[in-house]
Amino acid sequence: MRGGGSSSSAEPGCKMEGLTLSEAEQRYYCDLFSYCDTESTKKVASNGRVLELFRAAQLPNDVVMQIMELCGATRLGYFGRSQFYIALKLVAVAQSGLPLRVESLNTVKDLPLPRFVVSKNEQESRHTALYSSDADNPASYSGVIPPPPGRIQVKKGSVSHDAVQQRTSTDQQESTSPVVSPQQSPPTSPHTWRKHNRHPSGGNNERPLAGPGPFWAPFSEAQPGSSTSSDPIWSGHSPPPHQENWVSFADTPPTSAILAMHPASVQDQTTVRTVASAATTNEIRRQSSSYDDPWKITDEQRQYYVNQFKTIQPDLNGFIPGSAAKEFFTKSKLPILELSHIWELSDFDKDGALTLDEFCAAFHLVVARKNGYDLPEKLPESLMPKLIDLEDSTEVGEQTGEVGYSSSPAEAPPSKSPSMPSLNQTWPELNQSSEQWETFSERSSSSQTLTQFDSNIAPADPDTAIVHPVPIRMTPSKIHMQEMELKRTGSDHANPTSPLLVKPPDLSEENKMSSSVKFTAGNTVNGYSSSDSYASDPEQIGSTVTRQRSHSGTSPDNTAPPPPPPRPHPSHSRSSSLDMNRSFSVTPGQQQAGVVAYPPAVPPRPQPSQGAGPHVHRPVDAEGLIAHTSTSPQQIPEQPNFADFSQFEAFAVSGVNKEEEDEIEMHSEVLQVEKATDSASSLRVAKADGRVEDKAPANVPTSAGKGTTPLAPPPKPIRRRLKSEDELRPEAEEHTQKTGVIAAVLASQPSIPRSVGKDKKAIQASIRRNKETNTVLARLNSELQQQLKDVLEERISLEVQLEQLRPFSHL
Q: In whole angstroms, how far apart are CA 23 and each of 84, 223, 286, 382?
A: 16, 13, 7, 21
Contact 708, 762 (CB under 8 A): yes
Compare residues 468 and 810 and give the one whose CB is closer to other proteins: 810
Nearest partner of 578 among 417, 488, 460, 686, judged by Cα: 686
Residue 804 lies near other proteins (rule: CB under 8 A): no
Only one of the segments 40-48, 170-178, 320-328, 640-648 lies at the binding site for other proteins (rule: CB under 8 A); that segment is: 320-328
Q: Which is nearer to other proteins, 116 or 329 (CB)?
A: 329
**Closest separation in Å from C-beta 493 to other proteins:** 42
Among 42, 55, 101, 326, binds other proteins (CB under 8 A): 326
Q: Which of 143, 157, 352, 401 binds other proteins (CB under 8 A)?
A: 352
Number of residues that bind other proteins (CB under 8 A): 26
Sign of the dihedral defined by the CA atoms of residues 505, 507, 508, 509, in that order: positive
Site string for other proteins, 280-319 (x = CB under 8 A): ----------------------------------------
Q: Which of 504, 524, 484 is nearest to 673 (CA)?
A: 524
Give yes or no for residue 384 binding other proteins (CB under 8 A).
no
- The single residue among 61, 62, 317, 337 that binds other proteins, judged by CB under 8 A, is 337
Dist CA 451 CA 595 (whole Å): 70
Contact 675, 584 (CB under 8 A): yes
Q: Is 74 helix (H, G, I), strand (E, B) or coil?
A: helix
Site for other proteins in 360-379 (CB under 8 A): 377
CB of 331 to other proteins, least distance (A): 13
**347 or 659: CB nearest other proteins:** 347
Applying CB under 8 A, which part among 335-343, 410-418, 674-682, 779-787 lies near other proteins? 335-343
* Minimum CB distance to other proteins smaller for 470 or for 805: 805
The 3-state DSSP class for residue 613 equals helix
Give the nearest distance from C-beta 324 to other proteins in angstroms: 8
Three-state SS for 502?
helix
- The verdict on 339 binding other proteins (CB under 8 A) reads yes
The single residue among 470, 472, 494, 811 that binds other proteins, judged by CB under 8 A, is 811
Distance CA 500, CA 488 (A): 9
From the list 79-87, 306-314, 343-351, 746-754, the region that binds other proteins by CB under 8 A is 343-351
- Cβ 606 to other proteins, closest distance in Å? 43
CB of 314 to other proteins, least distance (A): 20
- Which of 341, 493, 615, 658 lies at the binding interface for other proteins (CB under 8 A)? 341
| Separation CA 573–CA 596 (nearest Å) | 9
Element (H, E) at 411: none
Q: Are 28 and 280 in contact (CB under 8 A)?
A: yes
Shortest distance in whole angstroms from residue 319 CB to other proteins = 12
Phi-psi region of 124 (alpha: psi -120 to 50; beta: other; left: phi over 0): alpha
**237 and 434 in contact (C-beta within 8 Å)?**
no
For other proteins, the closer of residues 334 and 360 by Cβ is: 334
Compare residues 352 and 561 and give the one whose CB is closer to other proteins.
352
* Member of 322, 505, 553, 561 binding other proteins (CB under 8 A): 322
| Contact (CB, 8 A) for 587 and 518 | no
CB 482 within 8 A of CB 522: no
Contact 547, 559 (CB under 8 A): yes
Shortest spacing between CB 378 and other proteins, in angstroms: 9
CB 140 within 8 Å of CB 129: no
DSSP per residue, 372-437: TPPPPSS--GGG-TT-EE---SS--B---SS--S-S-TTTHHHHHTTT-HHHHHH-HHHHHHHHHH
- With a CB cutoff of 8 Å and minimum separation 6, the contacts of 327 are none
State which of residues 219, 343, 440, 519 lies at the interface with other proteins (CB under 8 A): 343
State which of positions 614-633 bind other proteins (CB under 8 A).
none
Q: Report the nearest approach of other proteins to the CB of residue 809 (Å).
A: 6
Whether the CB-CB separation of 156 and 184 falls below 8 Å is answered with: no
Q: Is residue 513 exposed (0-12), middle (13-18) or buried (19+ Cβ within 10 Å)?
A: buried
Among 174, 268, 347, 621, binds other proteins (CB under 8 A): 347
Of the candidate residues 10, 65, 316, 336, the single one contacting other proteins (CB under 8 A):
336
The CA-based diameter of the chain, rounded to the nearest angstrom, is 130
Shortest distance (Å) from residue 808 CB to other proteins? 7
Among 14, 16, 325, 711, binds other proteins (CB under 8 A): 325
Residue 293, CA atoms < 13 Å, CB-side half-sphere:
17
Nearer to other proteins, 479 or 792 (CB): 792
The residue type found at 579 is D
Residue 351 binds other proteins (CB under 8 A): yes
Taking residue 785's Cβ as centre, other Cβ atoms within 10 Å add up to 13
- Residue closer to other proteins by CB (options 103, 327) is 327
Nearest distance from C-beta of residue 802 to other proteins, angstroms: 7
* Contact partners, residue 790, CB within 8 Å, separation at least 6: none
Of 375 and 412, which has the nearer Cβ to other proteins? 375
Task: List the one residue from 61, 456, 804, 809 that touches other proteins (CB under 8 A).
Answer: 809
Classified as helix, coil or strand, 437 is helix
Nearest to 93 by CA among 74, 79, 65, 114: 114
Neighbours of 635 (CB within 10 A): 18
What is the identity of the amino acid at 35?
Answer: Y
Nearest to 406 by CA among 215, 690, 675: 215
- Binding part of the chain for other proteins, among 2-10, 219-227, 321-329, 751-759 by CB under 8 A, reads 321-329
| Stretch of 29-37, 259-267, 668-676, 799-807 contacting other proteins, by CB under 8 A | 799-807
Q: Does 807 bind other proteins (CB under 8 A)?
A: yes
Segment contacting other proteins by CB under 8 A, of 277-285, 345-353, 670-678, 730-738: 345-353
Binding mask 747-786 for other proteins (x = CB under 8 A): ----------------------------------------
Nearer to other proteins, 331 or 480 (CB): 331
Amino acid at 213: G
The number of residues in the chain equals 811
Check if the beta carbon of residue 568 is closer than 8 Å to that of residue 529: no
The burial class, CB within 10 Å (0-12 / 13-18 / 19+), for 99 is exposed
134 lies in the binding site for other proteins (CB under 8 A): no
Look at residues 753, 182, 646, 105 and name the one whose alpha carbon lies nearest to residue 412: 182
- Nearer of residues 48 and 462 to other proteins, judged by Cβ: 462
Instruction: Note whether 350 binds other proteins by CB under 8 A.
Output: yes
Least separation, in Å, of the C-beta of 410 and other proteins?
A: 22
| Minimum CB–partner distance for residue 343 and other proteins (Å) | 5
Q: b/e string for 125-152 if b means 16 or more Cβ within 10 A? A: bbbbbbbbbbbbbbbbbbebbbbbbbbb
802 near other proteins, judged by CB under 8 A: yes
801 binds other proteins (CB under 8 A): no
Binding map of other proteins across residues 7-36, x = CB under 8 A, - = no contact: ------------------------------
Instruction: State in angstroms the smallest separation of the CB of 194 from other proteins.
Output: 25
Interface positions with other proteins (CB under 8 A)? 322-323, 325-326, 329-330, 336-337, 339-341, 343-345, 347, 350-352, 377, 802, 806-811
